[in-house]
């Protein structure tokens, strides 16, 4: 379905300042009605693209404003009155004062569902979790019953490796301080880990390291930051799934760092941005181990401390001045927490609603320009993913659903839409995804598909793109699978009435897009889960979801011919997951599920 652009590519200064819809005329209708001067900045698309860091960041900021304005269009396409009207989710959010939205958040009030500008927060009990696919009748009949908190229970029971499981069983032991070794480890960190979350500059780190080497304030938070950096520098060079070797995992550095961090967290009474940073480094370390709950816990501590830091200032967000370290800390908290909410539906800290009102960071170091741009681009698509979760996969509100899909499966918001509205909503979300993709500067924009890319940051953006594209189009594939299961069931009384949309070319194209997105996602993510990164567990879960979707399509006659030969892809994924599959881990559970998915061979068919 095609949409005609109803808004200018670039709003005038007056509309942009007041966050109003601009029609692009000269003067625009808003300026004409307000008797204001209508002034436009020069459009960058009519000349050679300015690739300077400031221009690129401004450009990404403009796409953020554009996506924000498009929330009204999504609300219009949806049948719901407000994306926040989920009764089960309110207790988990800390919200704004019932005053203008630029106020800092209270950590005690509940979100007002009647806010004038509804936010696209990931709803509680959303149905995008990979585990929800296991409850679908077709999958459940093959692999059996799995509770919604299955992966959560696995992770909370899994003991920590090595000395981390005995954090307070012995006196604090400091690792040996060898300047040359530490330089190598810090170089590893800034080359492999820092680009994923550029919390501070190398110069800032060097100041902390100099104090450590001179043995100044050994149990200060700067020491903990240094030890986290060394631990991450060690673990990112350990490509094998070695859980038994403390030195290979850098635990000799991380154990004292964690003790310092937890001591400061409990007994310091003023919020500290450096402690927030140390907690985020600890979250990254646990993510590299493939421990999502421990990673989330550290990030949530950081989020809550950051909220305390904001509240202590008693300022308006719109007029507050934030240092770059604070902005980077906020956005890292935001992204990590949203990832965990999307994967495990964990409790919220209250950081998520501020994503609409905090400004984006800028580069403070020429060597960090590209990292900053990648960082902003990933934040932008994380916000778009939140919109998709909210618009399509929140708990269904309608008492009866016009689309009788998955009658014994999880309720989902898209089921309360008729097929025309679902197609319009998915088309709008997909358009926003393409807007995001083309907002990335040409020289950093990852090419679509599976061609090799120069670095992990480009790979992550491409993986995020296909993750969003998959879940935008997932409802169409689920609808087709459900319909054909009903038709093939001998006991069926044809609960589903004939639906011309499921037989239309457009409907089948949406299913094909979902299949293509899942296949391309797998090829890209399999490369990433071959080594440790902060995305190790996240990508393994999404690979499981994609493979289940493809298995259902493979067993649906109308969709089977869209799939490639799946056996090599399945085998590659199993090989990578076995690398990390210690006993009773999520990785081992994923392997057990994937091994039960038997794909047909299209050559034989």
Confidence band, pLDDT 50/70/90 cuts, at residue 64: low
List 96's β-bridge partners, or say none.
105
Structure tokens at 65: 């404003």
Structure tokens at 84: 């926040």
Rounded distance between C-alpha atoms, residue 130 and residue 521, angstroms: 15
* Tens digits of residue pLDDT in 146-182: 999 999 999 999 988 877 877 777 777 788 878 888 9
> Shortest CA distance to 428 belongs to which of 82, 15, 75?
75
Confidence band, pLDDT 50/70/90 cuts, at residue 241: low
Q: Nearest-5° angle of CA 597, CA 600, CA 602? A: 145
CB 188 within 8 A of CB 233: yes
Highest mean pLDDT among 3-17, 26-40, 102-116, 443-457 belongs to 443-457
pLDDT at 103: 40
CATH number corresponding to 1-47: 4.10.240.10
Mean pLDDT confidence for 413-435: 87
Q: Judge whether residue 142 has pLDDT over 60.
A: yes
* Tens digits of residue pLDDT in 543-577: 999 999 999 999 998 899 999 999 999 999 999 99
Per-residue exposure over 327-342, b if at least 16 CB sit within 10 Å of its own CB, e if not: ebbbbbbbbbbbbbbb
Mean pLDDT confidence for 315-331: 77
Rounded distance between C-alpha atoms, residue 303 and residue 337, angstroms: 8
Rounded distance between C-alpha atoms, residue 112 and residue 116, angstroms: 10
Give the list of residues 6+ apart from residue 402 with CB closer than 8 angstroms, or none.
416, 417, 418
Structure tokens at 22: 């601009």
pLDDT at 18: 74
SS3 (DSSP) at 434: helix
Mean pLDDT confidence for 411-439: 87
The residue assigned the tokens 């009903």 is: 486
Per-residue exposure over 514-535, b if at least 16 CB sit within 10 Å of its own CB, e if not: bbbbbbbbbebbbbbbebbbbb
What are phi and psi for residue 135, nearest 5 degrees?
-90, -5
Mean pLDDT confidence for 17-43: 76
122 or 47, which is more confident?
Answer: 122
Confidence band, pLDDT 50/70/90 cuts, at residue 67: low
Q: Nearest-5° angle of CA 101, CA 107, CA 109? A: 70
Domain with CATH 4.10.240.10 in the chain: 1-47
CA atoms within 13 A on the CB side of 80: 30
CA atoms within 13 A on the CB side of 52: 5
DSSP 396-407: P--SS-SS---T
Rounded distance between C-alpha atoms, residue 176 and residue 76, angstroms: 61
Cβ count within 10 A of residue 395: 18
DSSP state of 587: H
Per-residue exposure over 447-464, b if at least 16 CB sit within 10 Å of its own CB, e if not: eeeeeebeebbbbbbbbb
CB 104 within 8 A of CB 314: yes
* Tens digits of residue pLDDT in 434-480: 999 998 989 999 999 999 999 999 999 999 999 999 999 999 999 99
* Tens digits of residue pLDDT in 219-229: 899 999 999 99
The residue assigned the tokens 């400004």 is: 359
The residue assigned the tokens 């902003």 is: 376
Give the list of residues 6+ apart from residue 486 with CB closer than 8 angstroms, or none.
492, 494, 495, 496
pLDDT at 362: 80
Highest mean pLDDT among 96-105, 207-216, 314-323, 517-526 belongs to 517-526
SS3 (DSSP) at 99: coil
> Shortest CA distance to 90 belongs to which of 50, 119, 52?
119
* Tens digits of residue pLDDT in 359-409: 888 876 777 888 888 999 999 999 999 999 988 998 854 334 445 445 444
Structure tokens at 495: 């609960």
Mean pLDDT of the chain: 80
Q: Judge whether residue 187 has pLDDT over 50.
A: yes
Q: Find the distance separating the first CA and the last CA of the chain, reported in whole Å.
A: 33
Over pLDDT 90: what percentage of the chain? 49
Cβ count within 10 A of residue 403: 23
Q: Within its chain, how far is the Cα of 574 from the centroid?
A: 24
* Tens digits of residue pLDDT in 488-509: 655 543 333 444 445 678 889 9
Rounded distance between C-alpha atoms, residue 118 and residue 75, angstroms: 9
Rounded distance between C-alpha atoms, residue 126 and residue 146, angstroms: 17
* Tens digits of residue pLDDT in 245-285: 767 888 999 999 999 999 999 999 889 999 999 999 999 99
């Amino acid at each position: 379905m095609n949409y005609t652009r109803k808004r200018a590519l670039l709003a005038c200064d007056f509309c942009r300042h007041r966050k109003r819809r601009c029609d692009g005329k000269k003067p625009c209708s808003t300026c004409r009605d307000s008797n204001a001067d209508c002034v436009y900045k020069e459009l960058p698309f009519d000349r050679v693209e300015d690739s300077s860091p400031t221009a690129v960041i401004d450009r990404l900021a403009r796409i953020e404003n554009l996506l924000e304005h498009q929330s009204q269009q999504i609300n219009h396409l949806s049948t719901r009155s407000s994306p926040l009207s989920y009764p089960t989710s309110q207790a988990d959010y800390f919200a704004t004062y019932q005053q203008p939205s630029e106020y800092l958040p209270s950590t005690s009030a509940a979100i007002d569902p009647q806010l004038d500008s509804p936010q696209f927060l990931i709803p509680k009990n959303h149905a995008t979790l990979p585990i929800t696919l296991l409850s679908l009748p077709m999958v459940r009949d093959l692999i059996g019953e799995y509770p919604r908190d299955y992966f959560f229970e696995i992770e909370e029971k899994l003991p920590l490796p090595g000395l981390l499981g005995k954090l307070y069983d012995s006196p604090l032991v400091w690792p040996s301080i060898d300047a040359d070794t530490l330089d190598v480890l810090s170089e590893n960190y800034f080359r492999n880990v820092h680009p994923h979350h550029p919390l501070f500059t190398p110069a800032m780190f060097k100041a902390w390291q100099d104090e450590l080497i001179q043995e100044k304030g050994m149990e200060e938070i700067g020491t903990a930051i240094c030890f986290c950096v060394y631990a991450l520098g060690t673990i990112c060079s350990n490509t094998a799934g070695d859980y038994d070797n403390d030195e290979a995992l850098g635990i000799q550095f991380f154990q004292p760092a964690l003790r310092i961090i937890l001591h400061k967290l409990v007994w310091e009474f003023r919020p500290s941005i450096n402690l927030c940073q140390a907690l985020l480094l600890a979250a990254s370390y646990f993510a590299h181990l493939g421990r999502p709950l421990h990673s989330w816990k550290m990030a949530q501590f950081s989020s809550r401390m950051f909220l305390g830091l904001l509240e202590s200032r008693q300022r308006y967000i719109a007029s507050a001045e934030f240092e770059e370290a604070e902005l980077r800390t906020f956005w890292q908290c935001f992204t990590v927490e949203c990832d965990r909410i999307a994967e495990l539906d964990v409790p919220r800290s209250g950081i998520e609603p501020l994503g609409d009102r905090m400004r984006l960071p800028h580069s403070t170091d020429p060597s960090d320009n590209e990292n900053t741009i990648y960082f902003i681009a990933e934040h932008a698509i994380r916000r778009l993913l939140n919109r998709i979760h909210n618009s399509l996969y929140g708990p269904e509100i309608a008492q009866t659903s016009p689309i009788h899909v998955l009658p014994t499966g999880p309720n989902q918001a898209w089921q309360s839409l008729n097929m025309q509205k679902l197609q319009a909503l998915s088309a709008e979300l997909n358009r926003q995804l393409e807007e995001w993709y083309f907002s990335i500067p040409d020289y950093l924009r990852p090419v679509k598909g599976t061609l090799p890319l120069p670095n992990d940051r480009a790979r992550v953006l491409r993986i995020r793109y296909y993750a969003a594209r998959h879940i935008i189009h997932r409802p169409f594939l689920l609808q087709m699978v459900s319909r054909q299961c009903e038709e093939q069931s001998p006991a069926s009384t044809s609960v589903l009435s004939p639906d011309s949309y499921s037989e239309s070319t457009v409907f089948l194209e949406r299913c094909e897009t979902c299949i293509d997105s899942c296949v391309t996602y797998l090829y890209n993510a399999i490369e990433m889960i071959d080594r440790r990164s902060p995305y190790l567990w996240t990508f393994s879960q999404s690979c499981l979801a994609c493979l289940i979707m493809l298995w259902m399509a493979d067993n649906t006659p109308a969709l089977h011919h869209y799939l490639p030969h799946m056996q090599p892809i399945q085998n590659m994924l199993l090989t990578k997951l076995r690398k990390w599959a210690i006993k009773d881990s999520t990785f081992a559970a994923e392997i057990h599920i994937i091994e039960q998915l038997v794909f047909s061979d299209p050559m034989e068919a």
